[in-house]
Structure 1
Amino acid sequence: MTEMLNRRAFLGRSALIGCSLAASPLVTPLSFAAVPGDNRLVVIVLRGGMDGLDVVQPYGDPAFAGLRGAPALGDPEGPVDLDGYFALHPALRPLLPLWKDGQLGFVHAVSTPYRDKRSHFDGQDLLEAGLTDLGQGRSGGGWLNRVVGLQSGATAETAYAIGRDGMAILDGAAPVARWAPESDLALSPQALRLAQLVMQDDPVFSATMEQALEIADSDGDAVAVEGGRRKMLSMVKSDMQSVGRGGAETRIAEFAAKRLRADTRIASFSISGWDTHRSQDRVLARGLSRLSEAILGLQKGLGGQVWKRTTVVAVTEFGRTARRNGSDGTDHGTGGLMLLAGGALRGGRVLGDWPGLDEASLYQRRDLMPTRDLRAHLGWLLHSLYGLPLSTISQTVFPGVDMGDDPKLIL
C-alpha cells in the first residue's frame, strides 16, 4: 500500500498558498529502503538515454573513428585511456582515483528488453519495472520494491521519496510512505503556524512535515521567512537559479549518505538531462559532472567503512545512435552502458561482450547492438549483496531474465 503525501494534498489540507513553497535543489525523487544486513546498494536512474559510446569510448574498435572521430588521447583535457581499448570521457576524470583503486567499473552493450519504439516514457517504465515487456502494465510494481518484499525483517516504513514524482522503481506491494513537496519549506511565520495548527491532530502529516523540514533545511537553521509574499517569490527565483548552477547532487548525496550510515540499506534517485539530440559535447559533460559529484559525495558522506560495503549502479533507459546527427548530437538508440562504483565493487574493468561497430554489427544498422540484458547484472548484484536465490531473481524480481554467467561484480 502506498500513501502519497504530495504537494497538492499538503496545500489542500493546510490551505497554504503556492508561493509558500520555494523551489529546492532537491528536485530529484529520492527513495530509501531498510532491509537486513550491512551491504548498501544505491541505484541511480539516468533519465534521458545516456550515450554510453561517448562516456566510455571504444577507440580500439576500427569503426569508432569513422563514426565519432578519434579521441584526443594524451590531451590533458581529453578522454583518458582505461585499458588500451576503451577511453573515459574527460568529465569523469574526478572518478579516476576510484578506477585505479578498483572501485569504478562499466558494463558496455547492455539494455533492457525494450526495443525499437525508443520512447523515454516506456523505456523508463520498463527499466524501473524490471519486466520483459510492458504488457503486464505496472501491476507488478518496481523491481526494487519486489526486492524489499522478499527480505525478511524489512522495516514497516520501507521507502519514501522527496521530489516532484515518486520513484517507480520502489512502487509496489511493499509499504511505502512518501513525501514529495518539490521544495524547501520557506514559510512565513504565519503560514508555518497555520500548518502546525492544521497538522497537530494528524500524526502522519505531523511526522511528515518534521521529516520535510529536516531535509529542506538540514543545516538546522529556522525556515520561517519574514517579508511575506514578495520575499517568498524572491526566494523562489533565487533557489531556481541555484538549481541551474548545479550542486543538487552533492546535497542529495549528503542526505542519502546520512541515511545509509543509519538503518537504510537501499537508496535510489534519478538524474535527468541525458537526452542529447543537440550540442552533445556540452550537455553530456554537464550530466557526467553531476553524476561524478553524486558518486564522490556518497563516498565522502559514507566514510571508509560504510563505503567498503556499498555498491552504486547507474542505469539508463537506452543508449544513443552510433552516428552523430546534423545537430552535433545523437538520437535515441538501443545498446547502452551501466556504471558501477563503490568499495564493495570488483572494479577497474570494462565488462560486456563487445559486438563491434561496423555497420553489419549495429542493431538495425544504426545502434550499438545489446549483447546482454542489464537486468542480469543487476540480478547478480542482488544475489551477491543480499543472497537472493537465482531462481527468485529470474522468476520474481526480473521475470524472464536470462542470468547467464556470473560477472563477479562484488569482492
Structure 2
Amino acid sequence: MLTRRLFLKSSALIGCSAAASPWLSSAAFASAPGDNRLVIIILRGAMDGLDVFQPYGDRDLAGLRRTLSLGPDRNATDLDGFFALHPALSPLLPLWNAGQLSFAPAVSTPYRDKRSHFDGQDMLEAGTGTDLETEAQQDGWLNRLLQQMPGQDSETAYSVAAAQMRILQGAAPAKSWTPRAIMDLSPQAQLLLTQIYHEDPLFRDASQQAMEIVAGLSPGITSTRNGEEHLELARFAADRLNGATRIASFSLPGWDTHVRQTNGLTRALTRLSDTILTLKADLGRNWERTTIMAMTEFGRTVRENGSGGTDHGTGGAMLVAGGAVRGGRALGDWPGLSEGDLYAGRDLMPLRDIRAYAAWAMHAKFGIPKAVLEGAVFPGLDMGPDPRLLA
C-alpha cells in the first residue's frame, strides 16, 4: 500500500507539469548550507496569545476576562511573576526551565482592522507590509530567504500541508508533502501505472520519484492514526531535517475560538505541545541547532464575548522553541490592558512587527545581511533592535 502522495513543487528535477500526475499532491520543505535548522509553524485561526501566555500581573486582565486567562489561580503556571503559561502547555515547562522556550507577547503583522483569516494568513506568509504588496508579491518570505542563500537546493526546504503554503512558494526550489493522502495500490497496480506512463517522461519520472521518496522515509513515518496528523507532520519534518533539509514549514489549524474557548484552545495547545516535543525527540542531537517559530495571523479581542470565547483582534503572541533559542523569558515590552492602551479600544496593542523577530532569527542562523532582510525578504521592514532571540 502506498500511503503518501507527494507534490514536488518548484522542483527543477520534474517541473510544473508534475502537478497533473495522479500520484501527487501538496506539501513543503527546503535545504540550506550549514547545520542550523528552522521550523516555521503557522497557527491558522488566530491564536489567543492572552490566554496562552497569560499576563495575570496586569491588574486590568481580570475585569476583561472573567472566565479566561486568570493565571496561577486557574491552574496556569507562573513563568516570571507577570506571565503564566496555559495549563495545556505545561509539558513544555522543562523547555522553559532549560532556556529553550520563549515568547513574544504583543506582536502582529502590519495587517490592520479588516480581521479576515484569509487576508491575515496571506500577509503572514507573504511577509509584506501592506495589502497591495501582498497582492503584487506572489511568493512567500521563506522562499525569498532561500533565494538569498547560496548552495541551497530542492531538498533545502519543505512545506508540509494538505494545501499549498504560500510561505514557500517562489523561484527557489522547494518540495511539498501532503500527509494522509492515501492511495491503496498493490505492487501490481504500481507496476501497471508505471507501464502506462512509460512513454510520458513527465508522468513517469514524477511518479517514480514520489515512490522513491516514500520508500526512503524512516520506519513509522508512513503510518498514522486518526487524530494524530500533527504528530505525523512533526515526524516527517524531523526525518527530513535529520537529512539534507534545513527549513521546514507546516500549519496547525483549530485556533479560531469564538465559542467555548477553554475547550477549543486546550485541544489546539495540546496538539502544539505534542508537536514540539515530537520534533525534539525525533531530532535528537540536531535539536541543539533547531529553532521553531510558531506564528498566527492576528490575535483576539481582550474582552471575552458572551459565548465563552473571543473574537478577531490585532496584537497576538509568537512562541519560540528549540535548542538554539535563548529562552526562559518574554521578548519585548508589554503595552498594558487599560482602556487607553488598547488598539481601537478593543485589542491588544502590537508593539513589534512579528517579521522583525523572524528576520533577526534569519540573520543569526544563516548570516543574511540586514539590508537584504529589510528589502528582498521582508519588503519595507524596520528590524529595530536585536532581541537576541538565539543563543
TM-score under structure 1 length normalisation:
0.84
Mean Cα deviation higher: 193-202 or 37-46:
193-202
| Equivalent of 1:266 in 247, 259, 268 | 247
Any residues of structure 2 matched to 1:273-288 within 5 Å, and which?
273-288=254-269
Change in 2 beyond 3 A, CA 1:123/1:299: same
Provide structure 2 residue ranges, at least 5 long, that are not aligned to the other structure: 1-8
Q: Residue in 2 aligned with 1:155?
A: 153
Change in 2 beyond 3 A, CA 1:218/1:4: farther
- State the one-letter code of the partner of 1:267: A
Change in 2 beyond 3 A, CA 1:161/1:39: closer
Question: Contact (CA 8 Å) 2:259, 2:310: kept in 1 or not?
Answer: yes
Any residues of structure 2 matched to 1:151-190 within 5 Å, and which?
151-180=149-178, 183-188=181-186
Mean Cα deviation higher: 155-164 or 294-303:
155-164
Deviations 1:273-310 (A, max 9, x none): 1011111100001000000011000100011x211111
d(CA) in 1 for partners of 2:16, 2:348 = 39
Q: Residue in 2 aligned with 1:18?
A: none
Secondary structure of the residue aligned to 1:41 is strand
- State the one-letter code of the partner of 1:368: L
Q: Residue in 1 aligned with 2:6?
A: none
**In the alignment, does 2:30 pair up with 1:33?**
yes
Change in 2 beyond 3 A, CA 1:107/1:162: closer
| Equivalent of 1:210 in 212, 217, 229 | 212
Question: Contact (CA 8 Å) 2:107, 2:316: kept in 1 or not?
Answer: yes
Query: Structure 1 residue 160: deviation in Å?
Result: 4.5
Q: Residue in 2 aligned with 1:71?
A: 70
| Equivalent of 1:54 in 32, 51, 56 | 51
Any residues of structure 2 matched to 1:328-407 within 5 Å, and which?
328-407=308-387
Deviations 1:204-233 (A, max 9, x none): 221023324656x95389x9xxxxxxxxxx
**In the alignment, does 2:273 pair up with 1:310?**
no
| Equivalent of 2:99 in 90, 98, 102 | 102
Deviations 1:354-402 (A, max 9, x none): 1110111111111101011000011100010011111111011111111
- State the one-letter code of the partner of 2:329: R
- State the one-letter code of the partner of 2:378: F
Secondary structure of the residue aligned to 1:269 is strand
Question: Contact (CA 8 Å) 1:30, 1:270: kept in 2 or not?
Answer: no
Question: Contact (CA 8 Å) 2:104, 2:332: kept in 1 or not?
Answer: yes
Mean Cα deviation higher: 179-188 or 164-173:
179-188
Question: Contact (CA 8 Å) 1:274, 1:287: kept in 2 or not?
Answer: yes
Query: Structure 1 residue 84: deviation in Å?
Result: 0.4
Secondary structure of the residue aligned to 1:128 is helix
Question: Contact (CA 8 Å) 2:260, 2:307: kept in 1 or not?
Answer: yes
TM-score under structure 2 length normalisation:
0.89
- State the one-letter code of the partner of 1:71: L
Question: Contact (CA 8 Å) 1:30, 1:267: kept in 2 or not?
Answer: no
Q: Residue in 2 aligned with 1:256?
A: 237
**In the alignment, does 2:82 pair up with 1:85?**
yes
Query: Structure 1 residue 203: deviation in Å?
Result: 1.6
Query: Structure 1 residue 258: deviation in Å?
Result: 1.4
Any residues of structure 2 matched to 1:101-120 within 5 Å, and which?
101-120=98-117
d(CA) in 2 for partners of 1:177, 1:264 = 10
Query: Structure 1 residue 74: deviation in Å?
Result: 5.4
d(CA) in 1 for partners of 2:221, 2:371 = 47
d(CA) in 2 for partners of 1:213, 1:325 = 50
Change in 2 beyond 3 A, CA 1:294/1:355: same
Secondary structure of the residue aligned to 1:410 is coil
Mean Cα deviation higher: 205-214 or 378-387:
205-214
Provide structure 1 residue ranges, at least 5 long, that are not aligned to the other structure: 15-20, 22-26, 224-238
d(CA) in 1 for partners of 2:164, 2:16 = 9
d(CA) in 2 for partners of 1:289, 1:181 = 20
Secondary structure of the residue aligned to 1:291 is helix
d(CA) in 1 for partners of 2:122, 2:132 = 12
Question: Contact (CA 8 Å) 1:130, 1:143: kept in 2 or not?
Answer: yes
d(CA) in 1 for partners of 2:148, 2:309 = 42
* Amino-acid identity (%): 53
Q: Residue in 2 aligned with 1:324?
A: 304
Change in 2 beyond 3 A, CA 1:380/1:161: closer
What is the CA RMSD across the aligned residues, in angstroms?
2.4
